[in-house]
Chains A and B, each alone.
Chain A
Amino acid sequence: MENIFLANAWLILALPFAAFLGIVAFTLGHKRLSGYLTIAGVGGAFLVSVGVLAAVTAGGSVHLSFPWYVLGETHFELGLLIDPLTAIMLIVVTGVSLVVQIYSQGYMHGDPGYSRYFAFMALFTTSMLGLVLAPNFLQLYIFWELVGLCSYLLIGFWYRKPEAAAAAKKAFITTRLGDLGLLIGILLLYWNTGTFSFGGIAQVIAGHTLPEGLITTAAVLVFCGAVGKSAQFPLHVWLPDAMEGPTPVSALIHAATMVAAGVYLVARVFEIFSASPTAMLVVAVIGAITAFLAASMGLVMTDIKRVMAYSTISQLGYMMLALGVGSYLGGVTHLANHAFFKALLFLGAGSVIHATGAQDMDEFSGLGSKMKITAGTLLVGSLSLAGIFPFSGFWSKDEILAGALQRTDNPLLVFLGLVGVLVAGMTAFYIARMWLRTFTGEFRTPAPAGAHGGGHGSHEGHGSVHESPWVMTVPLIALAIPALLSGLLGSDLTGQWYGHFLEGAEFHPESLNPLVAGGSTIVTLGGLFLAWATYSKKWISAPAVQRQFSGVHRWLVNKYYLDDLYLWLIRRVVIGGSDAFQWFDLHIVDGVVNGVGRTLAATGSALREFQTGRVQNYGLAFFGGVVIVVVFTVFLR
């Protein structure tokens, strides 16, 4: 702990939190200052995180716990845990957050809730960092819920829009359903290991004293939390709706950081999962299903942010698939790479929305000529997402697919790997479709849809589309650098630094598998080509394909009718059941009470006064009765 950064790692939490407090206490009326405070707080946390990463690379670590409250043998503790996984996450969270805060100054310019926005963003960053730094399940759960709160507050930021308010509520409740599983999993682990601490639980599991069935149950329950937070099937439905929030929020929370918390959680307690092949299989299957379903919906969405949202869900599914097939490295590196390129894609989309006031791709055409930086950086992000060599997405995607396809011990896992290859093609198609429809073709002034709430009315009718201000384009460029290069950290060029750093002694360097890398690249290029042929060359008519497969298309645009199913369940089961409770309460439970009261009143003529509402008579009778009982008992003895 002699390292100055490790000794002061608590600053990573304290600085953004101080920014939050400062805004709430002092600068709500000073918009610019509020923005600067959050940037300063997050920037400070970023600098400390860089120092921490350097220290951890040199072999340092932090394991710190102190009691929060204690009840006998049960210690409720908080603390800090810094290991390679944490160090990488700290850089991802503070790095992306810093860039997003700078960008937000431009994007949120003129919004009446500007200070509130930056306060919430600072609180979110604090909570996310608290989650990443948690040494035990208690602290993880606390900050897990708090990032959910910030997500709620920021999705519903423009609360006057009914869609935003509804989406915020939907996100909170859906994820809480998953959190219920996580909570039960924590309780189950606590009662069988006697601790909330990750290290302690891993130790007990390593002792092979727990039955595998129990570990499987606990792991699957913990995974429920990850399914909610990381928008995995079947709880993914909240994430597309979350796009009602301001776009920088979507970039930071609903693409780069918070939604990756589920993946982080599985990686953090990987010892629990890897002790149960069944639980691993569940993770892999859910991941693959999610990756495929979300990519398929991404193919047909026309709202630029929704394309990104489904892409995020799909990529999170990829990460789960990686962890499920045992590729810890693939899951974590894809998390990090995805955070940068997806934040870039969202901020780029935000730049387009900011410039045009619209977000439906039907309104876009040829914007590339007007917005060169946005178009260029988005191209980098898109190619990275598609997984084209040498962009960052290529490396981690390859790691994931190789990890799955090498699991010849279980044909199901190989099949899931093949699904992953198919998803790679679909991904390339939908992201190319997005880029081509938005930036290429003939320029046409988009009609603002008014979808971009809050203080952006000024954009309407200003007629000329132009590049966003530098506070927005510089962040795009800053994110394009890791989107292009961060994958190289996993390549031979850096001696596979990622692997050595994350897995340490257990890491066995492997070169690219030419079959996997080549095969997936061919599929990806195929996807890109199809999109190019359809949307640039018009060799294939999109409407004709849509007509041909109208049944499939209807299922996809209606999101497999899952939202409708859930709505039906809520109306019928939750509300319907509650209505039944209400009827039962009024007519049966209270009916009996009133009936007893009426019967008593009617039978006892001495109590007739009661009906006039003179309760004192009843009270008198009661006390008289008590006196009789007392006297009776006393004399009886």
Chain B
Amino acid sequence: MIFPYLSAIIFIPLVGAVAVAFLPQENRGIIRWVTAGFSFAALTVSLAVFAQFNLSSSSPQFVEKVPWIARFNIQYFVGVDGLSLPLVILTTLLTFLAVVGSWHIDNRAKEYNILLLVLETGILGVFTSLDLLLFFLFWEVELVPMYLLIGIWGGPRREYAAIKFVLYTLAGSAFMLVGILALYFTSNPRTFDMTQLAAASWALNFQMIVFALIFLAFAIKLPMFPFHTWLPDAHVEAPTAVSVLLAGVLLKMGGYGMIRVCFNILPDAAREYAPWLAAIAVINILYGAGLSMVQKDLKKLVAYSSISHMGYVLLGLAALNQVAVNGAVLQMFTHGAITGLLFFLVGAVYEKTHTREIAKMSGLAPRMPTLAALWVMAGLAALGLPGMAGFVAEYTVFVGAFGPWAWYTILGAAGIVVTAGYILWMIERVFFGPANPAQGLAHVGDAKRWYELVPLVTLMGVVLFVGINPSVVVNIINSGVLPVVARLGA
């Protein structure tokens, strides 16, 4: 152990949160710079891990393993592999951009920035924990800042949305904890060590029950139909940066958990449940896309589109083969970047127009050419246009999933037509056509300030880079997918 890279990544934000707590409330400038500095430091260290990552190894790297509560054999055990590294980088990047994108927030800026940093620690802990109890603790840690961020800085129905989000997640967590404990007490010797649990063999009936218990928490998080209704509420009420993190990385905790815990430890149950997952995936895709089609609120449209896009993750996972699972994990990464971008854009437009109602906006393109151009590009990325990251992920999912689930894949692929429909229709109504003078939008401006542009341009760059040169990310993901697929081994 030379340098504890992962502990550094996980706890730099927490240290930052403590540091910000000691700063004077009124000096928002310093608070922002310090917050940005710590989140940038976490990003830098995660990129250092990326640079040193060994592609030829499929076991966890940068491992730190120390006994924590020896009596129960609970360890502080963290590490990254190809499944988690892309999501770690996504988290550090999106948090940094979220901090930058929140530069204009003046209401209790200190508490807001502290909570963003605490949230980051929680999420990073989830993605790096290799001890199930540690994983669970981080899973819960993330809830508190999220609850407060929505409940305090949110929109008019913020309390309802925040409580709904927390209760829904807690309900899932309760079942997950029971499942985790079941694994713990059944293992011999008792352990929460995920690598050991994955190496053990479990009776099929036991797997089926535990899979269901744990999976529920991830299904709520992803979110999977019919457990998705917390998502649009939370999104609509959350401030922009929180929506970005919510859709960009929090949902991925669900997909990540499915593959890391359910598929990896309980592969036989995964095979048994796969047909159901594929069927629900199709519902997610088409139902989410249909709901997006009829939304009147720009932010809600993007929120429902996440449900649709997470369906592709489910479809890829349900196919259980190397290509499709790679596509699913890649879809998590690319959707994080694309939907993060979309939520930043929703926020940027709202800043100018003070409305999110699509019907009130019209012909905005000449008024805000930069935002309009970025919207069109982000929209095209969301509808899976080649050259953008989303295409690679979706195409890979389709290629992999068509073998085992031809009809579900055909139905899922039909989603790309509906997606094109709601995205282009929205763009047409918001940006094209004549300006709507009645709504007082004749004098709205474009995004010009650096803290507006940095998140947008950075994420657009990521989306294009991965779209054109996917192997950089795909090779990493593949190294993590291989052992899981081997365990699933059809």
* Chain A residues packing against B (C-beta within 8 Å): 67-72, 74, 76, 138, 141-143, 145-146, 149, 152, 156, 159-162, 164-166, 168-169, 172-173, 176-177, 180, 183-184, 187-188, 190-191, 574-575, 577-579, 581-582, 585, 589-590, 592-593, 597, 613, 615, 618-619, 622, 625-626, 629-630, 633, 637
Contact with A along B421-444 (1 / 0, CB 8 A): 100110010011110000000000
A142 touches B420 (CB 8 A): no
> Do the beta carbons of A69 and B174 come within 8 Å of each other?
no
Cβ 8 A contact of B478, one of A71, A165, A190, A585: A71
- Tell me which of A68, A69, A187, A637 contacts B398 (CB under 8 A): A187
Interfacial residues, chain B to chain A (CB-CB below 8 A): 147, 159, 162-164, 166-168, 170, 173-174, 177-178, 181, 185, 225-226, 228-230, 287, 290-291, 293-294, 322-323, 326, 363, 365-366, 380, 385-387, 391-392, 395-396, 398-400, 402-403, 406, 409-410, 413-414, 416-418, 420-421, 424-425, 428, 431-434, 470-471, 474-475, 478
10 A–B pairs (Cβ distance < 8 Å), ordered by A:
A70-B471, A159-B365, A159-B432, A172-B420, A173-B424, A176-B416, A176-B420, A578-B294, A615-B163, A622-B173
Residue from B162, B177, B322 in contact with A626 in the complex, judged by beta carbons closer than 8 Å: B177
Closest-CB distance, A153 to chain B (whole angstroms): 8
Among B166, B177, B185, B428: residue with most chain A CB under 10 A: B428
Which of A166, A575, A581, A593 is within 8 Å of B428, CB to CB? A166
Please judge, given known A-B contacts A68-B470, A145-B386, whether A160 and B174 are in contact too, CB under 8 Å. Answer: no
Inter-chain contact A633/B416, CB cutoff 8 Å:
no
A94 to B122: give the CA distance in the assembly, Å: 55
A76 CB contacts on chain B under 8 angstroms: 396
Tell me which residues across on chain B come within 8 A of A574, comparing CB atoms: 290, 293, 418, 421
Cβ distance B393 to chain A, nearest Cβ, rounded Å: 11
Task: Give the residue name and chain of the A residue nearest to B409 (CB).
Answer: A187
Closest Cβ of chain A to B85, distance in Å, is: 17
**B294 pairs with A582, CB closer than 8 A:** yes
- Please state if A74 and B399 are interface contacts (CB–CB under 8 Å): yes
Query: Is A160 a contact of B432 with CB atoms below 8 Å?
Result: yes
The answer to whether A141 and B417 have CB atoms under 8 Å apart is no
Chain A residues touching B, majority SS = helix
- In Å, the complex CA distance between A159 and B386 comes to 23
A578-B291 contact given A72-B323, A159-B365, A183-B398, CB 8 Å threshold: yes
CA distance A76 to B432 in the complex (A): 37
In the complex, what residues of B have CB within 8 A of residue A187's CB? 398-399, 402, 406, 409
- Residues of chain B within 8 A (CB-CB) of A633 are 181, 185
In-complex Cβ contact of B167 among A72, A615, A630 (8 A): A615
In the assembled complex, which residues on chain A have CB atoms less than 8 Å from the CB atom of B293? Answer: 574-575, 578
Check if A71 sits within 8 Å of B185, measured CB to CB.
no
CB contacts (< 8 Å) of A622 on chain B: these are 170, 173-174
Q: Which residues in A have their C-beta under 8 angstroms from that of B167?
A: 597, 615, 618
New A-B contacts (13) at CB < 8 Å, excluding given A165-B428, A585-B229, A615-B147: A70-B471, A159-B431, A160-B433, A165-B432, A173-B417, A191-B406, A575-B294, A578-B291, A579-B294, A581-B287, A585-B291, A615-B166, A619-B170
Residue contact B174 to A190, C-beta cutoff 8 Å? no
How far, in angstroms, from A156 to B230 measured CA to CA in the complex?
A: 37
Q: How far is the CA of A593 from the CA of B227 in the complex (A)?
A: 9
Tell me which of B402, B403, B432 has the highest count of chain A C-beta atoms within 10 A of its own C-beta. Answer: B432
Once the chains are docked, how many angstroms separate the CA of A375 from the CA of B121?
73
Complexed CA–CA distance, A633 and B183 (Å): 12
Contacting pair A69 B471 (CB below 8 A): yes
What are the residues of chain A within 8 A of B425 when measuring CB–CB? 169
Which of A74, A141, A589, A630 is B181 in contact with, Cβ under 8 Å? A630
Contacts A156-B432, A160-B433, A589-B229 known; A183 to B413 CB distance under 8 Å? yes
Give bound CA distance, A496 to B392, whole Å: 44
Please indicate the chain A residues that have their CB under 8 angstroms from the CB of B181 in the complex: 629-630, 633
- Inside 8 A of A592's CB, which chain B residues have their CB? 226
